[in-house]
A and B are shown apart, each in its own frame.
Chain A
Amino acid sequence: MLNIDQAIKFYCVINMMIVRPGKEIEIVFLLISVAIYLYWVRRSTGVKPIPSLRNFPAIDAILEGVGRSVETNQPVHFGLGESSALSADQAAGTISALNFLSYTARACARAGAKLVIRISPNPHLYTQADALVTEAYVAEGKQQELDKLFTLRYHGDARSYMTRGIHDMDELGTAMNVTMGALSVETIWAFAVCRMKGGIGVGGGSRWGMVFGLAMLADYSLLGEEMYAASAKISGDRTMTTSFLGGDWLKYVLIGLIIIAGIATIAGRYDLVSWIFKR
């Protein structure tokens, strides 16, 4: 029979053969993430109703802005974010922005509103935007009304993105400015000019460092995760919505871990805290 010490040693050896040393907590968390995700994906394909995401005023504001655009004959300006890219930590925000672009384009096509899209200084997004806008207008049966030269405006550099964007908003008028994605200083100039022209400002940013601009200057803002959630809501995709709900469960797990670590720190159990965080 093994005694306790031998049993612990045996467990550690087996553990080291199966998992990378020092990564136990991360692996457990990863497995929990996968389990939660699979549970919610299964729920999304089932018959049982899924909890709905709350309403976001920004989504309604987009439709309101499109209506305003038709009334005032001024275009809707959509900025994809001057730092957006389909790589690294900007990918999630950029994909959400593209969802919003599709939603706004369809609304504009349906209502007959003019649409001007400021495309990020990233050529890959040009093809994405082109495809999405074309798809939106085709879906509404308004392909002939799409003028790509007017609508799709590509700028090769962040500064020309800004100067041309301001010029377009000033010259053409602004019924609404929607700016989504990985934002930088655009949160300041786009909404300041939009406000000056009397337009509705709707913004969403994944780069939380520029969130202050949205909070102060946009009429309707989606800060950080709200943008992802709203993007899931407008996509109408059950899997997107359920994965988002799964994300909330993951956050509860993390909050639990933080509370445990906090109590352990207060109780002086630093060994437990360093075992959890391995630092």
Chain B
Amino acid sequence: MLNPWEIKGKTFFEKLGGLHWFWIGILLCLSILIPTLHPIGLPISTTKWTEDAYIAIKNAPKDKVIIWEDMWGMSATAAAEAAHTAVMRILFANNKPFIMYAEAVDTPQLQQYITEKVLKTAEAQGKVYGVDWVQLGFIAGGEGAIVSIAEDIHSAFKTDYYGTPLDKLPLMAKIRNYEDVGLVISSFGSTTWIESSVRQWYIKYNLPIVSYTMTGGATVSVAYYPNKGVVGIIEGGRGGAELEFLGKVYGIAQSQTDAKTLSFAIVAVMIVVGNISYFGSRGKKKNG
């Protein structure tokens, strides 16, 4: 596996399928690096479910709080940064108070990183921590934690992520339990967590959910969309780019969509090449 110059195979078709992983990786890295450094500006389309997600956030009840439950981790910063930033900027731009909490151990660090970035944007000017948003930190227990939070958030958390008691945060006085929640944004770096959110937030308390999932996760979330709990879907980096366009909060997603387009196209081409090699080699073996 170590010699990148080695191309296995005797015939042309066998050699076509014998490329070393190094060259494929280099091709992919270039397809990601070049548009990231110099965005090409390829057009993108928006999907109905992202538009619905944006509308749901915009139209969330003003007298209630938005809960943002988050499971993305630091390892997925590159994938999560665009959409996390866009969601937060849209929440600020539309003056929607929100509370973030984490269901994975390294999510608070990601939330902190994103918050520091967003606070430098125009949408965050004038926003006050404790009044416009609160970061609660990590809670263990998975789906059981949702129950605790939904029934009594002040029992589930005594302080926020920075150690401030909740009674010192004005926003926390407005929320006791699920009755004070207008919308749930369920973000997770997997595909199946949405089922837990639907079970707990929607089935029990009839709260609408915006599903913010990783690329490919819409296939699971769509089972509950548009009227079985999930009112909108934000799918990975593409969803982030669409949100930036819809909310006019332009950021890094444009270069990411260019990079995604090129890299996905290359993967698709490689799969086709692999199959041409397979069928070509088989044909030769049958004839010869």
Q: Which residues of A contact B (CB under 8 A)?
A: 83, 87-89, 157-159, 170, 184, 207, 209, 279
How distant is the Cα of A170 from the Cα of B21 in the complex, in angstroms? 14
- Interface check B1, CB cutoff 8 A: yes
- The residue of chain B having its C-beta at the shortest distance from the C-beta of A170 within the complex is B1
Instruction: Tell me if B220 and A209 are in contact (CB < 8 A).
Output: yes
Q: Which residues of B contact A (CB under 8 A)?
A: 1, 75, 142-143, 190-192, 195-196, 216-217, 219-220, 227-228
For B143, the chain A residues whose CB sits under 8 A away are 88
Q: How far is the CB of B214 from chain A (nearest CB, A)?
A: 10
Q: How far is the CB of A194 from chain B (nearest CB, A)?
A: 13
Task: Knowing A209-B216, A209-B219 are in contact, say whether A89-B192 is a contact too (CB < 8 A).
Answer: yes
The 6 closest A-B pairs by CB, nearest first: A209-B191, A88-B142, A87-B142, A88-B143, A170-B1, A209-B220
For A158, the chain B residues whose CB sits under 8 A away are 75
Instruction: Tell me if A209 and B192 are in contact (CB < 8 A).
Output: yes
How distant is the Cα of A89 from the Cα of B191 in the complex, in angstroms? 12
- The residue of chain B having its C-beta at the shortest distance from the C-beta of A277 within the complex is B228
Q: A89-B192, A184-B190, A209-B191 are in contact. List 14 more A-B contacts (CB 8 A).
A: A83-B190, A87-B142, A88-B143, A88-B196, A89-B195, A89-B196, A157-B75, A158-B75, A159-B75, A207-B192, A209-B192, A209-B216, A209-B217, A209-B219
How distant is the Cα of A170 from the Cα of B217 in the complex, in angstroms? 31
- The residue of chain B having its C-beta at the shortest distance from the C-beta of A193 within the complex is B1
For A159, the chain B residues whose CB sits under 8 A away are 75
- The residue of chain B having its C-beta at the shortest distance from the C-beta of A88 within the complex is B142
For A87, the chain B residues whose CB sits under 8 A away are 142
Would you mind naming 23 contact pairs between A and B with Cβ atoms under 8 Å apart? Answer: A83-B190, A87-B142, A88-B142, A88-B143, A88-B196, A89-B192, A89-B195, A89-B196, A157-B75, A158-B75, A159-B75, A170-B1, A184-B190, A207-B191, A207-B192, A209-B191, A209-B192, A209-B216, A209-B217, A209-B219, A209-B220, A279-B227, A279-B228
How distant is the Cα of A163 from the Cα of B227 in the complex, in angstroms? 42
- The residue of chain B having its C-beta at the shortest distance from the C-beta of A209 within the complex is B191
- The residue of chain A having its C-beta at the shortest distance from the C-beta of B199 within the complex is A89
How distant is the Cα of A106 from the Cα of B199 in the complex, in angstroms? 39
Q: How far is the CB of A208 from chain B (nearest CB, A)?
A: 8
- The residue of chain A having its C-beta at the shortest distance from the C-beta of B216 within the complex is A209
How distant is the Cα of A158 from the Cα of B190 in the complex, in angstroms? 13
For B228, the chain A residues whose CB sits under 8 A away are 279
Count chain A CB atoms within 10 A of each CB in B1, B217, B227, B228 and give the residue with the most. B1
Q: How far is the CB of B238 from chain A (nearest CB, A)?
A: 17
- The residue of chain A having its C-beta at the shortest distance from the C-beta of B229 within the complex is A279
Q: How far is the CB of A114 from chain B (nearest CB, A)?
A: 21
How distant is the Cα of A159 from the Cα of B1 in the complex, in angstroms? 19
